[in-house]
Structure 1
């Protein structure tokens, strides 16, 4: 059983510039079959954008999505974990902050992302959340 974040995290997370428009980022998420991207300038993590953010803060807000910058709708990444942190620490942070994804930071730069689904599959593989997280996406 994995005990450290590095054992379950998705490595080499997709990062985008805050200057990209939301349509470009949405297409990248579709093409890579991912539900979140990190927003960064170089190695400096600025935030996180989920597919839900694209809809709620982007499209539903109105305006031209080709002109709207992803940095304007990103959630600030206030909670992170390190690759050598425990799964329990990540679960505690997610619970306290009510977040489903945590960027993984090592030596000041993003190296991965861990999700509530990753934790569920590792800590309680017979749970409904683990089953849902392990299932192939509906496309």
Structure 2
């Protein structure tokens, strides 16, 4: 049974520049079949963008998504975990911050993302959330 974030995180997270447009990022997420990307400026983690952010803060806000910058809709990365943090610690941070995904940072650099679904599959494999998270996407 896994006890550390590194055991369940998605490694080698996709990252994008805050200067990229929303459409380019949306296509990258589609092509890679992922629901979140890290926004990195140089080596600094600026935030996280989810598929929901693309819709709520990007498309629904109006304007031209081909010109709107992803950095303008990113959720700021106010909470992170380390790869050697416990799963309990990750869950506690998610609860306290009301977030579903946490960037995993090691030596100041992003090395992964851990999601509430990752935790559910590890901690409560019989739960509905674990079943949904383990299922193949229906694209």
For residues 30-81 of structure 1, give each alpha carbon's deviation from its aligned partner in whole angstroms, at most 9, with x where no partner exists. 0000000000012210000000000000000001101000000000000000
Residue 118 of structure 1 pairs with residue 118 of structure 2: yes
Q: How does 1:1-139 map to 2 (within 5 A)?
A: 1-139=1-139
Q: Secondary structure at the match of 2:60?
A: helix
How many pairs were matched up? 139
**Structure 1 residue runs of 4 or more that deviate by more than 3 Å after TM superposition:** none
SS of residue matched to 2:55: helix
TM-score by length of 2: 0.99
Q: TM-score, normalised by structure 1?
A: 0.99
Unaligned runs of 5+ in 2: none
| CA-atom RMSD in angstroms | 0.4
Structure 1 stretches lacking a partner, 5+ long: none
What secondary structure does 1:71 align onto? helix
